[in-house]
Amino acid sequence: MKHADNGQTAAGWKPNPASPLPLYRQIELHIRDKIMAGEWTAGYRLPAQRAMAEAMGVNRSTLITALDNLAAAGMIEGRHGGGTYVCGAGWHAIAHEAAAFPNWNEAVEEGSHYPNLPEVQHINEAEFQPGIIRLGTGELAPELMPHDAFQAILRSLPERSRTLNYMEPQGSMELRTAISAHLQAHGVQASPASILIVSGSIQALHLISVGLLPRGSAVMLERPSYLYSIHAFQSAGLKLNGIAMDGEGPLLPALAEAARRGGVGKSNISLLYTIPSFHNPTGALMSEERRQELLAAAHASGIAILEDAAYADLWLEAPPPPSLKARDRDGRVLYMGTLSKAVSPGLRLGWLVGPEQVIRRLADIKMQTDYGTSSLAQEAAALWFAEGHHEQHLERLRPELRRRRDYMLELLERHFRGLAEWNRPAGGFYVWLRFTAGQPSIRKLFHACLEQGVLIHPGYLYDRLDAEHLRLSYAYASPEEMERGLRILAQTAKRMLD
């Protein structure tokens, strides 16, 4: 398994121009310190010279002088095929005599959890660069989050908080009771005993992958899908079977074929992961008819369903049809909800609904993993629901998201007419854009835009074979950033096509 180089330098470190020590010498000593402290071990690949020079704010020639001195001292070396690496025997023998060292490079290559795709790593790093325009980020802009309400809740916690200890395996009873009432208002019958509090949806996916599905089991999912951009299931030895979809959801004939390939009806459970309401990345809304047909097909074939409702509250014109879980009468549907999209990703709080024996099993695994989600976050979330903040926040949020969506659609019409086509989402965060006037290399477009300070999400993150699409988000970038970023994106795509 090949782990991509993360390309990170020491976070935020730069040489000091006011120091009497030359810049190249400061860099040399800094890298030497990282090697001698064991942060960069033998075999570690240094970041690319251009990236290091830009991060440190120096000319490339200054950096090369420092690297040449380190190479002469036997601490780093260039290798055939490119790249600069920390030497093994050379500096170990000089600095540490004949000690034996763990092979961390081999260890990180052999770990069982898959690494992120290189572009996902680039995105995760670039999102925190000053001045970057984030056109694909799947979270609310800071100004859209309910800061005042949460500050009031947090101020009240010292007086109302009952515990700083661990909570019971399934999570705070107060919070589960509040979520039960919230779900009931949306047609989902779920007692507190059938709810598990998790540290976000990704933890729920991980728990399901290791707690319910034997290695080799099939997980079916829409194609494209958010699930392709993370490796919770693949790292657990599960197979992903993509199902073609249209604007209303997964195509049922393709689902039936995938179920046959996955061996439904045998000892292994076959699970369908789906986002019916405002799909990530396409923004699609599964129709009422398709939801009914999907449940009927699952009932007939024995398929279990994992419904991700992360965006269900974020409708812009009208509420979506009732969830699959609201129609579930035989415990077939596991249901994930979260506060990360509608409220704040920093809370790291979500919930999973399912049959009680499933919830108890996953709660036991969660206790072995992290001994429970933050008790403070759970108490704050319980007040968030119980005091009515959630609906009040959504009533303020939806008009703002609608304005941002409409402005993005206006900008797309202005800059991309004749170049691409796109959907008009009825909720969620995402516009799914497809180039039609020729096909620029999406991979090259991603890097070309990033060099200009614009961060986009290529379609191949959500479908490995996709060479046509981009996922755009109107939830994070300000209107001014949106206008500048989309103009740069269109100009760059046109240059590549020309």
CATH of the domain at 95: 1.10.10.10
Same-domain pairing of 340 and 416: no
User: Block means of pLDDT (10 residues each) for the chain, length 498 residues?
Assistant: 42 86 93 85 86 90 94 87 77 50 68 77 87 96 95 84 78 96 95 96 94 88 92 86 92 84 58 96 96 94 94 97 95 96 93 96 94 91 95 97 98 96 97 92 94 96 94 98 98 93
Same-domain pairing of 198 and 303: yes
Same-domain pairing of 406 and 368: no
Per-residue pLDDT at 268 = 59
SS3 337: strand
Same-domain pairing of 164 and 265: yes
**End-of-domain residue from the set 346, 372, 387:** 387
Contact 472, 433 (CB under 8 A): yes
Per-residue pLDDT at 143 = 96
CATH of the domain at 463: 3.90.1150.10
**End-of-domain residue from the set 349, 368, 387:** 387
Same-domain pairing of 350 and 474: no
Q: How many domains does the chain have?
A: 3
Same-domain pairing of 219 and 295: yes
Within-domain flag for 116: no
Cα within 13 Å of Cα(260), Cβ side: 5
Q: How far apart are CA 243 and CA 254, in angstroms?
A: 6
Within-domain flag for 4: no
**End-of-domain residue from the set 387, 410, 427:** 387
Instruction: Please state, in angstroms and as integers, the Cα–Cα distance from residue 120 to each residue in 11, 114, 307, following that order.
Output: 18, 12, 24
H-helix or E-strand spanning residue 471 = strand 469-473
Within-domain flag for 121: no
Within-domain flag for 245: yes
Same-domain pairing of 254 and 303: yes
The CA angle 243-422-341, to the nearest 5 degrees, is 70
CATH of the domain at 311: 3.40.640.10
Same-domain pairing of 107 and 154: no
Same-domain pairing of 100 and 243: no
Within-domain flag for 117: no
Within-domain flag for 122: no
Q: How far apart are CA 463 and CA 339, in angstroms?
A: 26
Sign of the alpha-carbon torsion through 99, 104, 105, 111 = positive
Within-domain flag for 449: yes
Q: Which residue range is the domain that position 170 belongs to?
A: 147-387
Same-domain pairing of 425 and 325: no
Same-domain pairing of 352 and 245: yes
Within-domain flag for 468: yes
Q: What is the DSSP letter of 114?
A: P
- Cis status, amide bond into 224, omega within 30 of 0: yes
Same-domain pairing of 312 and 420: no
Per-residue pLDDT at 93 = 45
